[in-house]
Amino acid sequence: MPYVTVKMIEGRTPEQKRALVAEVTEAVSKTVNAPKENITVFIEEMSKENYGVAGVRFSDK
């Protein structure tokens, strides 16, 4: 029963998230031969204020 967590900066549309869940599910199903009904995908969105790279928050770019 695979569980996949995708962490990303907020701002994607519901359609983009729907497509992401479908594509990740398909990839996991093909790769590990798991039935799609057993695959769970979590999307964790982070605000730009709470995420930084190389010492700079995304909200400050």
Phi, psi values for residue 18, rounded to 5°: -60, -45
HSE-CB of 21 using CA atoms within 13 angstroms: 14
CATH code, 20: 3.30.429.10
Tokens standing for residue 42: 């979590």
Q: Count Cα neighbours of 15 within 13 Å in the Cβ-side half-sphere.
A: 0
Q: Which domain holds residue 17?
A: 3-60
Total number of domains in the chain: 1
What pLDDT score does 22 carry? 98
pLDDT for res 28: 98
3-state secondary structure of 54: coil
Active-site position among 2, 4, 20, 41: 2
Written as tens digits, the pLDDT of the chain (61 aa) is 999 999 999 999 999 999 999 999 999 999 999 999 999 999 999 999 998 999 999 999 8
Q: Global pTM?
A: 0.86
35 is catalytic: no
